[in-house]
Amino acid sequence: MPSQQDPRSEFITGVLIPKDASNDDAKEIEGEAETLGTGIEEYSDDDSEEEAPVTAVAPVLDPKSQPRSLGISLFVGATDGGEPYISICATWARYQEERGSQGKQVFRRVPNFYITPEPIPVNENRIICVKDQVKISLRYVHLPDNTYKVSVYLVNETSLIDPLEESGKRRFKTSDIIFQPQIRVVCVDKVELVYTKFVSLISSRPVV
């Protein structure tokens, strides 16, 4: 992509706008988004020992509006009957507006990433990391047979607060957007992906 092109008008998918952006602002991004926004699912589970420290992002139902979050869910179990552990790698990028050598507006890609320094247990709801105003969190549901449904979320939490604006927040700009977000999950030794009959049970639970 030419560096003088504004990325917000070039990408349809792989774009996360700030969580607090208004729907009206989201619809004004040039180009037509063809994907639905990704929301964070809220599941009630009696086996979970605590409430999730995660602020839910409501699903965006308008296909022309951009998502605020990205998530991945999987079922895991430990082959030795213990607690499963996983490692997580998340990558994303921003585009910073600058002036080129000839004074023209250009956009420079600034990549970023987070890798868990050591494997983490999946039996605890937690905020894993907040970096570059990106929040990465984990939620779990404990199922029979020592199987866990694990969901990892990446949310664009870039602040839009501006006391000088009448609404209290400003409109977002290109540098506020997350581009090309990816989440990778690695099962450590003695942990494996599980295909379970409980998939249909979990999928049928209502989303709050």
Cβ-in-10-Å burial (0-12, 13-18, 19+) of 208 comes to exposed
At 163 the pLDDT is 83
Sheet with 134-143, edge to edge strand ranges: 126-131, 134-143, 147-156, 69-78, 191-193
At 159 the pLDDT is 95
At 61 the pLDDT is 53
Question: pLDDT tens digits, the chain, 208 residues: what are they?
Answer: 447 888 988 888 899 999 999 877 766 654 434 433 333 344 444 444 444 444 444 444 566 678 999 999 999 999 998 999 999 999 999 999 998 777 788 999 999 999 999 999 999 999 999 999 999 999 999 998 889 999 999 999 999 998 888 788 899 999 999 999 999 999 999 999 998 655 554 444 443 3
Token pair, residue 110, equals: 């600034």
pTM of the complete model: 0.76
At 121 the pLDDT is 97
**Rounded CA gap, 204 and 118, in Å?**
34
The 10 Å Cβ neighbour count of residue 84 is: 26
At 59 the pLDDT is 46
At 87 the pLDDT is 98
The 10 Å Cβ neighbour count of residue 107 is: 22
Check the CA dihedral 155-182-208-126 and report its sign: negative
Block residue for tokens 């921003």? 94
